Amino acid sequence: MAQKDIGNKTPLHELKTTKDVMHYYDEWSKNNKYNKDMNDWDYSGPKETVEVLIKYQKDKNIKIYDAGCGSGLVALELKKFGFSYFDGADISKELLNQIPKDLYKELDQSDLNRKILKEDNFYDVVMCVGTFTFAHVKAHALDEFVRITKVNGLICFTINEAIYIDHGFKSKIDNLVNNNKIKKVEFFKSNYLASKDVNAWLGLYKVL
């Protein structure tokens, strides 16, 4: 999650390929270690993004796409507020296997750097938490998030601050805003993983 050593693994910035990332999380998930670490480290990304979303999205009967859903932490937070329709995708089969049964309508093991096999204008909300970081999902994935989101729908995401500029996220977001594809609702520095001195930007944008 950061350019720093997060305690028990190789720093993420040393990973080079999607295959590296897949193996990284498959190993981390063994014996439920990923979920235990997220709890022990007070990982606030899922809770913070959901708290922002519910300020603007009151309809609980919406379709939500959880991009990079991992072990389902975002959907579990959303469920607390009465949301129930989630589709999810993640690169790690082992993390997907740890998701509580029946939490998601559909789950796919997939690389979000490729085309998302979903219809245009299908989802009311796309969530992407903890996935825009070193060697993970690249900035161009935002184009796909916009494509699969309905007009006036919302995209809510975190971006590791260390890659925000140098890895093209700022320029991609600026381009989408300048071309009237999305409009900023909120954008601020998240607590994210403060216990490990890892910061992220948290953004909520409306699709135009």
Residue 5 lies in a domain: no
Question: In the 8-state DSSP scheme, what is residue 118?
Answer: S
pTM: 0.88
Q: Is residue 1 domain-resident?
A: no
Sign of CA dihedral 28, 4, 13, 157: positive
Domain-embedded: residue 6: no
Across 32-36, 96-100, 158-162, least confident range = 32-36
Asked if pLDDT for residue 5 goes beyond 70, the answer is: no
Q: Is residue 129 part of a domain?
A: yes
Residue-number span of the structural domain to which 19 is assigned: 12-207
Region 34-55 average pLDDT: 84
The answer to whether the CB of 151 falls within 8 A of the CB of 170 is no
Whether residue 140 lies inside any domain: the answer is: yes
Specify the number of domains making up the chain: 1
Average pLDDT over residues 137-152: 97
Task: State the chain's mean pLDDT as an integer.
Answer: 89
**Does residue 21 lie in a domain region?**
yes
CATH, residue 147:
3.40.50.150
Residue 2 belongs to some domain of the structure: no
Query: Using one digit for the tens of pLDDT, what is the confidence trace for 52-78?
Result: 999 999 999 999 999 999 999 999 999
Q: Do residues 56 and 154 touch, judged by C-beta distance below 8 A?
A: yes
Q: Is residue 3 in some structural domain?
A: no
